[in-house]
């Protein structure tokens, strides 16, 4: 994406993640944040060089400028930056705020028809809730993700990572790339709308299809899922996730556990039967796995061709040889903080780590140099 200029007026996670991806794909990204800073700068508990580690994870590789859109002169500067430099404008302002400051697509494309505007909202750009703000955990709740996450006899829980924020950033990038492709052919701009709720609903695709087919969303199954058995089980020294997506894999599991008769037992021979007798097969598998440490079972199951993985801590996954071999965690050239890179490779090579996230307004003095007339 070298040669593409993005202006990102953002806060928190979804829009910053959008800009991060675009920057790592080679775009020149100008991050505009309010003078008091992006909210993520204050997210703890871990901090790095005065800002939350979360901010560094989401904002490296960008030019950082401080813009108070309530200040008329600074708003004019932002408008000029967009009009004179931007191919793409991304924001996650509160609903209605963009139009108040003339930053809505209709206003911006009066002077720049080819501009691609990406608006990231909470509940979506239309409908009775479209004017409400929202955050990741709200959408996990609203879209039903939490209703199928957690143990059956416990309260619903949210995913431990911001799957909705990050997913929305990914969808926004997909939309922006499609709009850039169309612009190259038709020489016209576009408005890309993405939202947290729409992303959360997309992650619920199987659950919603299951509900519409049978009237049942599937319930909560802890480390398992509604439509496949088995799940996670405790070995002698830690937990393992065993995944058998078909009956052939389940047969291999039974052989590896020394209980081949389970594979022909009418209660367990098919996935449908195992779902009906989930509690019993889970109990039987757990009893076998508890007898040996997880390294024993990993070797045995992997040799049998059964998908298996240990439940690792963050420290374990960072230190694991497979993670290191992928080279996905690296240090920016100007910083010692190891951060996760783009989960893509091109011709076998991953884009290198970009420069570290910068302090508030670090590139304010560069704005004048990129505009047609110095301010």
SS3 109: helix
Active-site annotation holder among 11, 104, 136, 165: 165
**Phi and psi at residue 358, in whole multiples of 5°?**
-105, 165
C-alpha 78: how far from chain center: 28
- Per DSSP (E only), the strands in the chain are 5-9, 28-33, 47-48, 51-52, 63-66, 88-91, 116-121, 190-195, 232-234, 239-242, 308-310, 329-330, 339-340
Which DSSP helix (H) or strand (E) runs through 253? helix 247-256
> What residues does 51 pair with on adjacent strands?
48
Cα separation, 120 vs 93, whole angstroms = 8
Contact (CB, 8 A) for 260 and 330: no
Whether 165 sits among the annotated catalytic residues: the reply is yes
User: Which residues, 6+ apart, have CB-to-CB distance to 184 below 8 Å?
Assistant: none
Catalytic residues: 165
């Amino acid at each position: 994406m070298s040669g593409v200029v993005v202006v990102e007026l953002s806060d928190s996670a979804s829009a910053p993640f959008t800009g991060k991806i675009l920057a790592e794909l080679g775009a020149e990204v100008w991050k505009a944040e309010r003078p008091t800073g992006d909210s993520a700068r204050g997210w703890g508990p871990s901090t790095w060089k005065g800002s939350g580690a979360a901010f560094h994870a989401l904002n490296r590789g960008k030019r950082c400028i401080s813009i108070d859109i309530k200040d008329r002169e600074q708003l004019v500067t932002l408008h000029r930056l967009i009009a004179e430099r931007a191919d793409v404008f991304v924001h996650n302002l509160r609903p209605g705020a963009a139009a108040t400051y003339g930053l809505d697509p209709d206003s911006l494309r009066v002077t720049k028809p080819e501009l691609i505007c990406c608006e990231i909202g909470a509940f979506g750009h239309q409908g009775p809730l479209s004017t409400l703000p929202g955050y990741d955990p709200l959408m996990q709740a609203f879209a039903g993700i939490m209703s199928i996450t957690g143990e059956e006899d416990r309260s619903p829980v949210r995913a431990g990572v911001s799957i909705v924020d990050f997913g929305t950033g990914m969808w926004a990038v997909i939309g922006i790339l499609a709009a850039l492709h169309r612009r190259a052919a038709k020489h016209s701009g576009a408005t890309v709308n993405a939202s947290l709720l729409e992303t959360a609903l997309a992650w619920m695709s199987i659950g919603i299809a299951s509900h519409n087919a049978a009237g049942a969303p599937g319930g909560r199954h802890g480390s398992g899922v509604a439509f496949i058995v088995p799940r996670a089980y405790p070995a002698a020294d830690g937990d393992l996730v065993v995944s058998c997506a078909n009956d052939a894999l389940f047969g291999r599991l039974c052989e590896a556990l020394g209980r081949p008769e389970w594979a022909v037992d009418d209660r367990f021979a098919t996935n449908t039967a195992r779902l009906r007798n989930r509690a019993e097969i889970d109990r039987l598998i757990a009893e076998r796995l508890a007898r040996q440490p997880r390294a024993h079972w990993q070797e045995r199951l992997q040799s049998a061709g059964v998908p298996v993985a240990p439940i690792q801590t963050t420290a374990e996954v960072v230190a694991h040889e497979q993670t290191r071999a992928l080279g996905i965690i690296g240090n920016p050239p100007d910083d010692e903080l190891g951060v996760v890179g783009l989960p893509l490779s091109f011709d076998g090579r991953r884009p290198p780590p970009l420069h570290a996230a910068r302090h508030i307004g670090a590139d304010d003095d560069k704005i004048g140099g990129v505009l047609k007339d110095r301010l």
